[in-house]
Structure 1
């Protein structure tokens, strides 16, 4: 693997987050129109077709047992995580939903303590309290705007998704070191599709002609984002790339305003800032080694 600077990896990861944010905007619209399940079913199927064509055309080697295990674990986890996120995103403003998802790194600290037997430091506990206060500020802004019980349920679904994403963070770098970006992107789409297809006989509804371009665009953006992030995480430590996640709030605010005419509430800005500061404080600690990750998995 050719060495690259951390700045280069950070820049590539930034493009990955931008692509993912554009995909979020497309998926929010599709989730409102056809439901989160059908939007995800057809998007992941399209992604699996795109990825499969590239994977088999390049005659890429089949993953080994260790990589296959990580692919399956992260694929199943991502299916549940994505459904909760987009179900919730269909009910709350885009910027607010992304801001709530930022609690994932804080949850990851406690998962690391449970899975890796790490001692939770005092600053991490204080950071968690600050992050939790940020969530309450965002939810209070939601209540003040009188968005109703559906929006509150949507916010809870996004917080549950963030809990699953916290474990995803632990898996992401390990997967990036075991497999190439194309392999990661293809198997993520393939395994997520397989998960959603289980309920297809009961829930699947064919997309309409106007929805097909949006689904194809969302699939392509998700695939490109996975490849870019996998490339970046294979070349830089997660602690150096973690801040790039917060650029998603800028993109979410932009797409929410331009596409859905959603103004960003002042309390959402304040709460998002509190959560970001909490994450920065919490992650200024000893990095987790790859050996520790392997032991936990």
Structure 2
């Protein structure tokens, strides 16, 4: 283990905790019902996430410096793309079984490899391209039964539109990851986290004329809890990268499908199909291979640097 990351088990624990809290967030949003406007959901998710984030920054003494930025345009672009991704994702979440929405969302890190190669000119070799292709085939296996509903039920099929919405959310989320990669080069992590929630809440308010309705107390509390969970999960995720490198903790993202299967079955009476499980296994396998490949390349690069002489 690299000396910069002396506590890998602590990093893994924080990562798993973040996954658990993110799944709780999704569960609360799904439980709030299908009649709430998507923009209203994203507002509550973003606005109430600010509560734990601001509290954490104040506790760490970073609150004043967190608002200092050298790239407000970059934050706004990331916030706009991020809120679009969140909106489509939440639409799919409330119209699809929970584990299915989670599994389709796994397309995001696969597409991020593609976009990093295109926009950031990162080198992607045949192994990772092959894994991305296989993973996307897995995503198509999961979504195909839903997409065929377009043929049978037209564009009024909410399940079909939900599947397409999650796919679009994954693509937009991958673009947001590219934007974050650019921001990291010049901005602090807590500044990026803070400005995302702030800009996402502001952009969500633009949808106020489009279907917002007064919420019953039950739905209000569920969405408030979802927002709070989102903020806590973001803090846990950010902290996890302080104690272990990305290739160590990234595979634990896939514990979310296990949680999704359990919660979907016991709370929403959702029974996964064999096709959905097959496609999920393919996607998860491809994602883990990409992570493993990144880890091996990272080790090779560190080894190469150690053998470079002072003369080069």
**TM-score scaled by length of structure 2:** 0.80
Distance 1:158 1:176, change over 3 A: farther
- The answer to whether 1:14 aligns with 2:16 is yes
CA RMSD of aligned residues (A): 3.0
CA contact (8 A) 2:104 2:143 kept: no
Q: Which runs of 5+ in 1 are unaligned?
A: 290-297
Q: Separation in 1 of the partners of 2:245 and 2:198?
A: 27
Tell me the CA shift for residue 175 of structure 1.
Answer: 4.5
Tell me the CA shift for residue 161 of structure 1.
Answer: 0.8
Tell me the CA shift for residue 160 of structure 1.
Answer: 0.9
CA contact (8 A) 1:31 1:39 kept: no
Distance 1:195 1:22, change over 3 A: same
CA contact (8 A) 1:15 1:228 kept: yes
CA contact (8 A) 2:47 2:197 kept: yes
Tell me the CA shift for residue 30 of structure 1.
Answer: 2.3
Tell me which residue corresponds to 1:295.
none
- The answer to whether 1:122 aligns with 2:126 is yes
Distance 1:3 1:278, change over 3 A: closer
Query: Residues 143-165 of structure 1: CA distance to partner in whole angstroms, max 9, x if unpaired?
Result: 79999632121111101111122
Greater Rg by CA: 2
Give 1:45-64 correspondences, 5 Å limit: 45-49=47-51, 51-52=53-54, 55=57, 60-63=63-66, 64=68
SS of residue in 2 equivalent to 1:264:
coil
SS of residue in 2 equivalent to 1:129:
helix
Distance 1:276 1:220, change over 3 A: same
Q: Separation in 2 of the partners of 1:238 and 1:59?
A: 24
Q: Structure 2 residue aligned with 1:79, among 68, 83, 101?
A: 83
CA contact (8 A) 1:108 1:170 kept: yes
Tell me which residue corresponds to 1:292.
none
Q: Structure 2 residue aligned with 1:113, among 107, 114, 117?
A: 117
Tell me the CA shift for residue 212 of structure 1.
Answer: 2.1
Tell me the CA shift for residue 49 of structure 1.
Answer: 4.8
Q: Which runs of 5+ in 2 are unaligned?
A: 302-312
Q: Separation in 2 of the partners of 1:144 and 1:186?
A: 40
